[in-house]
Amino acid sequence: MQPKNNLELYSLLIEEERIMVDVLRQIILEVLPPHCYEKLTNNVPYFFGNRRICLVWPASIKGGGVKKGVLFGFSYGNRINDTDGYLEHGTNKRIYYKIFKSANEIKIRPLKKILKEAVALDATFSKAKKIYSSRYYNH
């Protein structure tokens, strides 16, 4: 089943993931500026500003490579000033992340700090332009 909204997404998650996703979404929505928005992409919540800023990927949703817990990822994590070494990175050179195995692991202050760094980085980007295939345009 592909969730169409957060309510449907939550119905697919185990209780601990549901709590973590909810807490992470609340933190994100508190920090993001008003022009930013949330959209379910690949069946998980992504958050956009001028470009994609971050995502929340629970292990119950296949395709994210998360075996247990919830991944909180930053689309341009490689460009974030992470002076505390809070984020990890795997094989993807651009996306940096933190995986939470329980809600007790979620610490609000460091999360907000790194999220503010991501928002500041996003502010340096111009709005992403949609690239259209030439087949849709007559030359």
pLDDT on residue 26: 97
Asked if 59 contacts 24 with a C-beta cutoff of 8 angstroms, the reply is: no
pLDDT on residue 20: 98
pLDDT on residue 131: 53
pLDDT on residue 9: 95
With tokens 């505390």, the residue in question is 84
What letter does residue 85 receive in the DSSP assignment?
Answer: -
pLDDT on residue 139: 44
Domains annotated for the chain, with CATH where assigned, are 6-124 (3.90.1150)
Asked if 61 contacts 67 with a C-beta cutoff of 8 angstroms, the reply is: no
Q: What is the pLDDT along the chain (139 residues), one digit of tens a residue?
A: 789 999 999 999 999 999 999 999 999 999 999 999 999 999 999 999 999 999 999 999 999 889 999 999 999 999 998 888 999 988 888 999 999 999 999 999 999 999 999 999 999 998 866 555 444 444 4
pLDDT on residue 64: 87
| Cα 112 from Cα 114, distance rounded (Å) | 6
pLDDT on residue 114: 96
Given its phi and psi angles, is residue 65 left (phi above 0), alpha (psi -120 to 50 degrees) or beta?
left
